[in-house]
Amino acid sequence: MKKRWPGFLLILCLLLLWEFASANKLIDPITFPRVSVIFASWSKAVLGSGELTRQLMPSMGRIFAGFGLAAIIAVPLGLLMGTIPLVYRLLEPITEFIRPIPSSAYIPVAILFLGIGNEMKVFVIFLACMFPILLNTYGGVRAVDPVLIDTGRTFGLSRTKALWQIILPAALPNILTGMRISLGIALIVAVVAEMITGNSGIGYFILDMQRIFRVPEMFAGIFTLGLLGFLINFIFLRVEGHFLRWRGTSVET
Amino acid sequence: MTATHEVQAEARPIIEVRNAAKRFAVNGQSLTVFDGISCAIPQGAFLSIVGPSGCGKSTLLKLISGLEPASGGEILFNGKAVTGPADGMIYVFQQYTKSIFPWRTVIQNIEFGLNSHKKNLSRMEREDLCRHYVKLVGLEGYENYFPYQLSGGMQQRVVIARALICEPSVLLMDEPFSAVDALTRAILQELILSIWRTIPVTILFVTHDVEEAVFLSSRIISLTKSPAKIHEDVAIDLSYPRDQITTRAEPRFHALRQQLFASIFLQEKGAAP
């Protein structure tokens, strides 16, 4: 943690520069309000009226629902693809076809059959989270050293037991990497979906504030997103560090 | 010939290799590693397989273990044909760093050996048994270390303890000490010897180091260059217990070492262009 202070110092300097530039009208103070004004509206929207906090909850709910669903389905599917060649040959083409489509492109389709409610957003987030987890799990399984598999065989381990006791833990670093990538994507997709079909959520809040020219609140929403992404990543690195403590490389947080 | 040898000759073979063959397909061509190897390994033996590099020593060991199928002939373990990894035989891999479970601590790695054996033990009994084997390989105090925190020699001790805990009747060791430094190797050699003398286990030991083979074994089989055949089958009539200082100083040790080394070296040289 102590090695990170220069980075935080740079952020502080940039914010001060912004404050100074806006106060002296070097940049348009309507488009770029002073940082102090943004923070004032932020604390009012979060601590005071709570209108921002109210929008944060639905977003986080969607993100974790979509991500959780994706993890529950993609990890077992990836394990099967990695261990049973037939499953791989069955799923590989469709995976390669769907994967390159930007997840936001599914939104119009999802609206058609799921409407503009929560289900649609969770579904789109779920779909976007699926592929990084699936492909990383599959890749992790394929990368398990044959010696490790043979060690299980010489000890008479059954295929199912080997899956739980050898393949899953050996592929865990890759699986967790896939999950971390997915969490980042989930945040993006959630915001986009909320902006397109807005009635709640942080994405809706940002767009709404921009439309009614409450620019400081708009920035407050964006800053909140940055903070949220940072926090999610921070917590996930901690979780990862706990599960992978056997690797010995301390995770810097 | 000697007392030890006679005892072993009387013992019933625990493993019989009959006309074993192994062929690989390389670029559409069939490559014969060996064809028609036969030997019987008596129960309780410490038998080493030596030979020039690439002669198929490790492949033969894999075939015996059942990890790889033979292309011809048959392998019998306790009179029964080996068709897959057999209960009672444990293969110890040359690459111990790849064979150890990095996510398990020392004691958890050793406990893995109990997986398919002794399922009815209580948690207390399992733990006691694990501790016994931790002690046997001299890793007390390191029970809760992860493999990355251990030296190569210590990791190899973990792998050996993990293999021994399921009380195999045969231990198949593929150049187990080739990747550790000379001093650690000498210590591990004495360790495996003392284990072999206290536990009723037959050890098949593949090595390219003739001196190591002579020091450890009660019998040595040397193979020819690929396609391999059995070149020599030598009883090692050095008395047990052996230790690094006195055994290696014996004239008989040098004579045997010289005899085996010469035959392998001349082969390797003779076959070279």
CATH number for the domain harbouring residue A92: 1.10.3720.10
Nearest-neighbour CA in chain A from B159: distance (Å): 10
**Beta sheet of B80-81, edge-to-edge order:** B29-42, B13-26, B72-77, B80-81
Burial classification of residue B273, based on how many CB atoms lie within 10 Å of its CB (0-12 exposed, 13-18 middle, 19 or more buried)? exposed
In-domain check, residue A71? yes
Contacts of A159 in chain B (CB under 8 A): none
The Cβ of residue A30 has, within 10 Å, a number of other Cβ atoms equal to: 9
Instruction: Using the predicted structure, report yes or no on whether residue A171 has a pLDDT greater than 80.
Output: yes
Burial classification of residue B137, based on how many CB atoms lie within 10 Å of its CB (0-12 exposed, 13-18 middle, 19 or more buried)? buried
Residue bearing the bigger pLDDT, A230 or B2: A230
In-domain check, residue A9? no
Nearest CA in chain A to B94: A147
Q: Which of B90, B104, B148 sits opposite A247 (nearest CB)?
A: B148
For B11-20, the pLDDT digits (tens) are 679 999 999 9
Q: Which of A157, A245, A247 sits opposite B116 (nearest CB)?
A: A157
Q: Which of A157, A161, A246 sits opposite B146 (nearest CB)?
A: A246
For B222-258, the pLDDT digits (tens) are 988 878 888 889 999 999 899 999 999 999 999 999 9
Nearest-neighbour CA in chain A from B113: distance (Å): 7
Instruction: Using the predicted structure, report yes or no on whether residue A223 has a pLDDT greater than 80.
Output: yes
Q: Which of A151, A155, A248 sits opposite B166 (nearest CB)?
A: A155
**Domain of residue A105, residue span:** 56-199
Question: Beta strands B46-50 and B13-26: pairing type?
Answer: unpaired
Contacts of A144 in chain B (CB under 8 A): none
For the question of whether the overall pTM of this predicted structure is more than 0.90, the answer is no
CB contact under 8 A, B115 and A157: yes
Residues of A with CB under 8 A from a CB of B: 145, 147-148, 150-151, 153-157, 161, 165-166, 169-170, 172, 245-248
For A14-29, the pLDDT digits (tens) are 999 999 999 999 999 8
Residue bearing the bigger pLDDT, B89 or B28: B89
C-alpha distance from residue A92 to each of A83, A89, A123 (Å): 13, 6, 21
Q: For chain B, give every domain's residue range.
A: 3-88+168-271, 93-167
The pLDDT-based confidence of A251 (bands split at 50, 70, 90) is very low
Contacts of B85 in chain A (CB under 8 A): 153-154, 156
pLDDT above 90 covers a percentage of chain A that reads 75
> What crossing angle do the helices spanning B123-136 and B152-164 adopt, rounded to 10°?
130
| 3.40.50.300, 3.40.50.620, 3.30.70.20, 2.40.180.10: CATH of B3-88+168-271 | 3.40.50.300
pLDDT of residue B231: 86
pLDDT of residue A45: 86
Vertex A191: Cα angle to A185 and A193 (nearest 5): 100
pLDDT of residue B1: 39
Mean pLDDT of B34-46: 91
Burial classification of residue B124, based on how many CB atoms lie within 10 Å of its CB (0-12 exposed, 13-18 middle, 19 or more buried)? exposed
In-domain check, residue A82? yes
In-domain check, residue A240? no
ipTM of the complex: 0.89
CB contact under 8 A, B91 and A154: yes
Contacts of B59 in chain A (CB under 8 A): none
How many structural domains are present in chain A?
Answer: 1
